[in-house]
Amino acid sequence: MSVRHARVEDAAEMARVNVRSWRETYRGLMADHVLDDPDLPAARERFWTTMLSDARYRANRVAVAENDDGEVIGIAMAGPSQSSGSQWVTHLYMLYVVAAEHGTGAGAALLDAVVGPHDSAALWVADPNPRAQAFYRKHGFVADGTVNFEDGVREIRMVRVPSGGSAPAS
């Protein structure tokens, strides 16, 4: 397995991983009509093409994980927080690894590729999603008590403050 910076020519494979991961992870949390929409793969490919080619998103760090056969098995994106007054340097917007590759180290490698080890960072994670929440706790993130609902999915915010810092109040 290897991790590298994503390129615009990766957009179709990134969309495939994105849609597959959503279907594997969010079935029962997200509406079936969203997950089963036949236009979802094309919409996600347009999303990734924009993220990788539009100058507005140049500050984002986007990476892909590939298996030994060169197949994209995971994706991640982080960048500056879009929230005004945010107390975090980095926001982890997305990290997905297809279920068949869970436990291979791909998720940790992707996280390291897009979020610096000493960056203060925040993310939103579906709740319940015990596997993902445990993964983020293992990597220094803690729930700060903030809850959000996005597209009918309950999310909790998790934050990571570098050593010596203190978690901000929500």
- Residue 168 forms part of a structural domain: no
- Residue 170 forms part of a structural domain: no
- Residue 169 forms part of a structural domain: no
Query: Which has the higher per-residue pLDDT, 81 or 32?
Result: 32
CA-based torsion, 91, 76, 135, 107: positive or negative: negative
Instruction: Please report the pLDDT score of residue 3 as a whole number.
Output: 98
What's 151's domain CATH number? 3.40.630.30
- Residue 141 forms part of a structural domain: yes
- Residue 70 forms part of a structural domain: yes
Instruction: Please report the pLDDT score of residue 60 as a whole number.
Output: 97
pLDDT digits (tens, 9 = 90+) for 39-56: 999 999 999 999 999 999
Q: What is the pTM of this model?
A: 0.91
Instruction: Please report the pLDDT score of residue 17 as a whole number.
Output: 98
Pure H helices in 79-153 = 106-114, 130-138
With 70 as the cut, is the pLDDT of residue 166 above it? no
Average pLDDT over residues 56-75: 97
Q: Into how many domains does the chain fold?
A: 1
With 50 as the cut, is the pLDDT of residue 169 above it? no
With 70 as the cut, is the pLDDT of residue 96 above it? yes
pLDDT digits (tens, 9 = 90+) for 2-33: 999 999 999 999 999 999 999 999 999 899 99
- Residue 165 forms part of a structural domain: no
Q: Which of 118, 128, 119, 120 is nearest to 154 (CA)?
A: 128
- Residue 66 forms part of a structural domain: yes
**Domain that residue 39 falls in:** 2-160
* Distance from C-alpha of 79 to C-alpha of 92, rounded to nearest angstrom: 7
- Residue 51 forms part of a structural domain: yes
* Distance from C-alpha of 118 to C-alpha of 22, rounded to nearest angstrom: 29
* Distance from C-alpha of 112 to C-alpha of 63, rounded to nearest angstrom: 10
